[in-house]
Amino acid sequence: MTPQRPWLAHYPAGVPHDIDPEQYRSVAHLLEESFGKHAANPFSVCMDQWMRYGELDRLSAQLGAWLQGQGLAPGARVAIMLPNVPQFAVTMAAVLRAGYTCVNVNPLYTARELEHQLRDSGAEAIVILENFARTLAEVIDRTAVRHVVMAAMGDLLGPVYGRWITFAVRHLAKMVPAYALPLTGSRRLTTFPEALAQGAGRTLAPSTATLESAAFLQYTGGTTGLSKGAVLTHRNIVAATLQAEAWFTPALARVGDVTRANSIAALPLYHIFALTLCLLAIRQGSHLTLIPNPRDIPKFVAVLKKRPFHMLPAVNTLFNALLQNADFRALDFQPLCVSQAGGMAASESTAREWQKVTGSTMIEGWGMSETCAIGTNNPVSNTAFTGTIGLPLPGIDIAIKNDAGESLALGEAGEICIKGPNVMQGYYQQPEENARAFTADGFMRTGDIGVMDERGYTRIIDRKKDMILVSGFNVFPNELEQVVALCPGVLECAAIGIADEKQGEAIKVFVVRSDPALTEDDVARYCEENLTGYKRPKHIEFRDSLPKTNVGKILRRELRGPAA
């Protein structure tokens, strides 16, 4: 442990040095306290349709009671495959209140990726938007899923408007591909409204989960080529929520009544960054503006124009995209209290332009799925972009260590290691990974190389892992290489990340052909069929051979040098 904790002397006024997760029995306790306290307050707005905390309380209790009625054992895993629509928060709260474990799933996963996550987690139930049902239909027979709750886009958007949205999505935009879900054996399909209606006739039994129980399996890239589930306990989630509250409250105090704060949920809620900020809003009793499709920048900006917004979390690419929009630059930014950058390295040029246009300082933080998002953050009182990842949040220790696990002196470069109540218990059913992930004194190795200065600010200078960071999403070369190697005509391949102005990094794949007729388009099509969008290579280069060690291991660093 870094004994002096130099960062504490540089905390903004009002930020505590520690937090107390023990004030709650579980995440369900935190949720239910907030639902009761803020019942009349708005929780979210999506497509101009509002949901209050009282409604979130009632609907999540109904869905939770329905799940309990299916005979799932305490702690059972329930997959959630939803975009940023009201059904997400209802489902997340329902699963946690019912005493189960949430398994967040990227809705854009391919069949291969979805099958791995469902099989690895052992999920017995899934709540999924019908737009993605075709993918589920391809793999469900090879999973343990027996209960499918099928949601439509308009289910919680009002009786009239909601029906219109569902009709438009299905029949005008044609965004729901035809699917045939195999209902074999004991497997059942229930629509989201049916599950709510059936749950209304039942009583939600109190959760038996404790702070040590698993609340989420949050999947992240795997060094072995397959994603692995970080086991985030109720203690981890409660701690991360309280840490975020402690850190951001000084900035949001400018709103006056923090329950009136409007946070923009444009980043996907299945991602740990947005998920933590969603839980922060619930803890505060403030509300979220849900953006189902942030890639449509004109529509996104039109939503921002409708009402004052106070907190805007984004990755660098999204900040940059907004700055390119003339209508965005004309908005009123006076209410904006926090411009929170995370998920990927923030660009100094983007930060300078952001401050020039909005008058708001881009505040950069750092974290991982394994740390419940934020591990370090720049103080919200900063008036200029620092280029560092900031200070450890309350209750967190950061140590810079060498390969032997020994802490280094301030100013020396080493691996950034983290310890705190927000740090995961370990990877689900991965004892060998867990043994590598933690030092003897209980710090988690992050794979990032950094330097801490005398004030406790840390700067990342390199990555120890081969992980590629594309627009805030972790991509591991091993997974890409395993997929591309199965493409007909590929003899061997290697994947690296190269600098990209828009995405932070872009994926480049080097391919040695066994079939001379293989083209870049062939490889790109195969990747499109087997990898979700952010994992697909932007650059494909054919070579006669790949650089290797004496024992035949591909030297990615040699490919990375000339490619950069």
β-strand pairing of 504-513 with 228-233: unpaired
CB 56 within 8 A of CB 43: yes
Is the four-CA dihedral 517, 521, 523, 525 of positive or negative sign?
Answer: negative
**Same domain membership, residue 181 and residue 251:** no
CB 376 within 8 A of CB 448: no
Residue 18 lies in a domain: no
pLDDT at 1: 40
pLDDT at 269: 95
Beta strands in 385-522 (DSSP E): 391-392, 397-401, 414-419, 426-427, 444-452, 458-463, 468-470, 473-475, 490-500, 504-513
Mean pLDDT, range 518-524, rounded to an integer? 96
CB 508 within 8 A of CB 563: yes
pLDDT at 258: 95
Mean pLDDT, range 347-364, rounded to an integer? 92
Residue 551 lies in a domain: yes
- Tens-place pLDDT, residues 166-221: 999 999 999 999 999 999 889 999 999 999 999 999 999 999 999 999 999 999 86
Q: Which of 186, 202, 232 is the last residue of a domain?
A: 232
**Same domain membership, residue 259 and residue 117:** no
pLDDT at 225: 60
- Tens-place pLDDT, residues 143-171: 999 999 999 999 999 999 999 999 999 99
**Same domain membership, residue 308 and residue 297:** yes
CB 540 within 8 A of CB 563: no
pLDDT of 223 higher than 70: no
* Cα–Cα distance for residue pair 538/534, rounded to 1 Å: 9
pLDDT at 23: 97
Beta strands in 163-318 (DSSP E): 188-191, 214-220, 228-233, 262-265, 287-290, 311-314
Percentage of the residues of the chain whose pLDDT score is greater than 90 = 82
Q: Which residue reads 């700067």 in tokens?
A: 459
**Same domain membership, residue 150 and residue 30:** yes
* Cα–Cα distance for residue pair 182/189, rounded to 1 Å: 9
pLDDT at 549: 59
Mean pLDDT, range 366-371, rounded to an integer? 94
Q: Which of 463, 478, 494 is the last residue of a domain?
A: 463
And the tokens for 365? 């933080």
**Same domain membership, residue 46 and residue 150:** yes
In three-state secondary structure terms, 252 is: helix
Mean pLDDT, range 314-333, rounded to an integer? 93
CATH code, domain with 515? 3.30.300.30
Mean pLDDT, range 537-560, rounded to an integer? 81
**Same domain membership, residue 393 and residue 344:** yes
Residue 535 lies in a domain: yes
- Which domain covers residue 551, as residue numbers? 468-563
pLDDT at 224: 52
* Cα–Cα distance for residue pair 335/311, rounded to 1 Å: 9
- Tens-place pLDDT, residues 27-61: 999 999 999 999 999 999 999 999 999 999 999 99
pLDDT of 2 higher than 50: no
Of the segments 1-10, 303-312, 345-354, which one has the largest average pLDDT value?
Answer: 303-312
Q: Which of 232, 259, 288 is the last residue of a domain?
A: 232
**Same domain membership, residue 290 and residue 356:** yes
Residue 539 lies in a domain: yes
187 secondary structure, DSSP code: -
* Cα–Cα distance for residue pair 263/94, rounded to 1 Å: 22
And the tokens for 208? 């038996």
CATH code, domain with 185? 3.40.50.980
pLDDT at 563: 41
> Which whole-number Å values give the CA distances from 100 to 66, 69, 72, 268, in the listed order?
12, 13, 8, 22
* Cα–Cα distance for residue pair 229/103, rounded to 1 Å: 9
- Tens-place pLDDT, residues 46-100: 999 999 999 999 999 999 999 999 999 999 999 999 999 999 999 999 999 999 9
Q: How far is CA 286 from the centre of its chain?
A: 20
And the tokens for 177? 């591909």
Residue 318 lies in a domain: yes
CATH code, domain with 406? 3.40.50.12780
pLDDT of 464 higher than 70: no
Residue 270 lies in a domain: yes
- Tens-place pLDDT, residues 416-437: 999 999 999 999 999 999 999 9
> Which whole-number Å values give the CA distances from 240 to 2, 27, 100, 363, 506, in the listed order?
21, 11, 19, 18, 30
More confident residue, 501 or 459: 459
CB 270 within 8 A of CB 82: yes
**Same domain membership, residue 478 and residue 525:** yes
- Rounded mean pLDDT of the chain? 93
Of 560, 530, 433, 481, the C-alpha closest to 109 is: 530
**Same domain membership, residue 389 and residue 481:** no
Q: HSE, CB side, 13 Å, CA atoms: give it for residue 138.
A: 15
pLDDT of 406 higher than 90: yes
β-strand pairing of 49-52 with 473-475: unpaired
**Same domain membership, residue 223 and residue 256:** no
pLDDT at 216: 98
pLDDT at 551: 47
**Same domain membership, residue 256 and residue 227:** no
- Tens-place pLDDT, residues 231-271: 999 999 999 999 999 999 999 999 999 999 999 999 999 99
**Same domain membership, residue 128 and residue 254:** no
pLDDT at 345: 73
236: Cβ–Cβ under 8 A, 6 or more apart, which residues?
215, 372, 421, 422, 423, 424, 425
Of 444, 390, 42, 411, the C-alpha closest to 231 is: 444
Is the four-CA dihedral 41, 43, 47, 49 of positive or negative sign?
Answer: negative
Domain total for the chain?
A: 3
Mean pLDDT, range 402-419, rounded to an integer? 93
Mean pLDDT, range 14-20, rounded to an integer? 96
**Side chain identity at residue 257, one-letter code:** D
Percentage of the residues of the chain whose pLDDT score is greater than 70 = 96
CB 48 within 8 A of CB 160: no
Residue 10 lies in a domain: no
* Cα–Cα distance for residue pair 526/112, rounded to 1 Å: 12
349: Cβ–Cβ under 8 A, 6 or more apart, which residues?
none
Residue 227 lies in a domain: yes
pLDDT at 375: 96
**pTM as predicted:** 0.86
First to last CA, the chain: 36
* Cα–Cα distance for residue pair 449/461, rounded to 1 Å: 6
And the tokens for 108? 């854009």
